[in-house]
Amino acid sequence: MTMNKILAGVLLGLVLGALDGGTAWFYPEARPLITGILVGSSFKGMVVGLLSAWFARKVQSTAWGITVGAGLGLLFAFLVAANDTLNGRHPYLEIMVPGFVVGAIIGFVTQRVGTPGTAVKEQ
Amino acid sequence: MDLGDSVLDHLRQVAALPDLAGTHYELECEIGRGGMGVVYAARDRELDRRVALKVLEVALAGEAQLIAKLEHPAVVPIYEAGTLPDGRAFYAMKLVTGLRLDGYVAGLASLAKRLEVIRRVGEALAFAHARGFIHRDLKPQNVMVGEFGEVYVMDWGVDAVAGTPGFRAPDARLDRRSDIYALGGLLQFLLPVPPPPALQAIAAKAMSADPAARYSDVAAFLLDMERFQEGLAVEAWAEPWWHRLRRYGARNAVLLWLLAAYAAVKFLLFFLRNL
């Protein structure tokens, strides 16, 4: 089955974002907020997946895909962490570091899966 | 006056030289000798270029015509065919400068380059088979690698030849599958020591004693080689589970490292939180 990169990126971001948000269950203080965390993390993942896939359609480069994905993951994780508080502080470390790695994974996978668009191969 | 043996030998050699009178070629030197004829380097006076001249000792029906029909990058192009004043047939072809495959391998070419040679030879074979021709005598001595990496398959379809030991199929038939046997022999010849198990299996399948057990065509052989080069499972080898796991790991190394990094980050954050 072939799937275009955008759809692949969105679905991948949704799944990985949900999984990443689900790990908040291991923090007892976050459990009452788990539904919101899951929704927010999934949405964040979808946005990162969409943008990474769009980039992958334009530039075919694994290294750049990982870099851009990681950067987007870090950026959106920062925006989420800046608007969140847990125990009276912003959970920058707990959200941004995993968000950075998840973004890198999304960036890598979107380079490999899905049918490409008008990609320019990196020399 | 008696003539010494060395003088007689020299006279015999001179007498055997082709008489190129009436042609536009000038003889330079002998560059190869086989059972069917001798190959000389010569100069084409009209086009001012060097050529290879094959002078046939035996009247081989249509060898030049056969090669001329195979217009492929890996088949040496024929420029002209004719008959010398002494009655021997000849044909002029591109003079290939490079190494015979046995010499090329001795130069420690990488596995990727060796497989590239096999791929080019296979493509030439597939091309010929599609047009109803078979090689009959594929072996390292009949493959040349040029100075820029170009590959040429020589000595096509000689009726009087039925293969060379080591590259000749055990069954008596001469058909596509006997060529595939020889191609497997060529791969076997090029494999490094120790050989990758998958490539060893591909060569072994091509060289099966039972023709029905070999690859059905050259394309299937080349596809299996391509699968090996892409890190995929090959048809010829039922690999053990641990090898399949290692191959999966090698093929997905980046993804596995990223997942491991994610797990490490999560574990570290959880651990630091509990300190």
Q: What is the DSSP string of A66-115?
A: HHHHHHHHHHHHHHHHHT--BTTB--HHHHHHHHHHHHHHHHHHHHHSSB
Q: Which of B258, B269, B273 sits opposite A108 (nearest CB)?
A: B258
Q: Is the pTM of the predicted complex or chain greater than 0.80?
A: no
Domain parsing of chain A, residue ranges: 5-115
Q: How high is the pLDDT of residue A63?
A: 95
Q: How high is the pLDDT of residue B1?
A: 55
Cβ-based contacts of A92 with chain B (< 8 Å): none
Distance (Å) from the alpha carbon of A94 to chain B's nearest alpha carbon: 7
Domain parsing of chain B, residue ranges: 5-94, 98-239, 241-275
Structure confidence at residue A90 as a pLDDT band (50, 70, 90): confident
Whether A1 shows a pLDDT value over 60: the answer reads: no
Whether A119 shows a pLDDT value over 60: the answer reads: no
Q: How high is the pLDDT of residue B257?
A: 95
CA angle B172-B178-B181, nearest 5°? 125
Task: Give catalytic residue positions of B.
Answer: 137
CA neighbor of B273 nearest in space, from A24, A76, A58, A74: A24
A99 contact partners, CB below 8 Å, separation of at least 6:
A20, A44, A73, A74, A76, A77, A78, A80
- The predicted complex's ipTM stands at 0.87
Ramachandran region of residue B138, left (φ > 0), alpha (ψ -120 to 50) or beta?
A: beta
Q: Residue written as tokens 């320019």?
A: A120
B267 part of contact set with chain A, CB < 8 Å: no
Measured CA to CA in angstroms, residue B227 lies from A28, B174, B223, B254 at distances of 49, 28, 6, 20
Q: How high is the pLDDT of residue B35?
A: 62
Cα within 13 Å of Cα(A22), Cβ side: 6
Cβ-based contacts of B273 with chain A (< 8 Å): 27, 94
Q: How high is the pLDDT of residue A105?
A: 96
Q: Residue written as tokens 């574990």?
A: B267
As a whole number, mean pLDDT of residues A68-84 equals: 93
Q: How high is the pLDDT of residue B87?
A: 83
Which token pair is B121?
Answer: 């030879």
Q: Residue written as tokens 């943008």?
A: A51
Radius of gyration for the alpha carbons in chain B, expressed in angstroms and rounded: 25
- Report the DSSP beta bridge partners of residue B93: B52, B78
Tell me which of A36-40, A67-71, A91-95, B221-225 is least confident.
Answer: A91-95
Exposed/middle/buried for residue B7 (C-beta within 10 Å: 0-12, 13-18, 19+): exposed
Question: Homologous superfamily of B5-94 in CATH?
Answer: Phosphorylase Kinase; domain 1 (3.30.200.20)
- When scoring A20, A89, A97 by the number of chain B Cβ atoms within 10 A, the one with the most, hence best to mutate, is A97
Identify the closest residue of chain B to A100 by CA–CA distance. B262
Q: Is the dihedral of CA A35, A41, A45, A51 positive or negative?
A: positive
Cβ-based contacts of A27 with chain B (< 8 Å): 273
Structure confidence at residue A120 as a pLDDT band (50, 70, 90): low
* Distance separating alpha carbons of residues A121 and B236, to the nearest angstrom: 33
Residue B82: phi and psi, rounded to 5, are -170, -165
pLDDT per residue of chain B (275 residues) written in tens, 0 to 9 = 566 777 777 776 676 788 888 889 999 999 887 667 888 999 999 999 999 998 886 655 567 777 788 889 999 998 988 888 888 888 899 999 889 998 888 877 789 999 999 999 999 999 999 999 888 889 998 999 988 889 999 888 665 566 677 888 888 778 899 999 999 999 999 999 899 999 999 999 999 999 999 999 999 999 999 999 999 999 999 999 999 999 999 989 999 999 999 999 999 988 887 66
Express as a percent the part of chain A with pLDDT over 90.
66
Mean pLDDT of chain A: 89
Pick the CATH number of B98-239 from 1.10.510.10, 3.90.1150.10, 3.30.2130.10, 3.30.70.20: 1.10.510.10
B55 with B90: CB under 8 angstroms? yes
B55 with B37: CB under 8 angstroms? yes
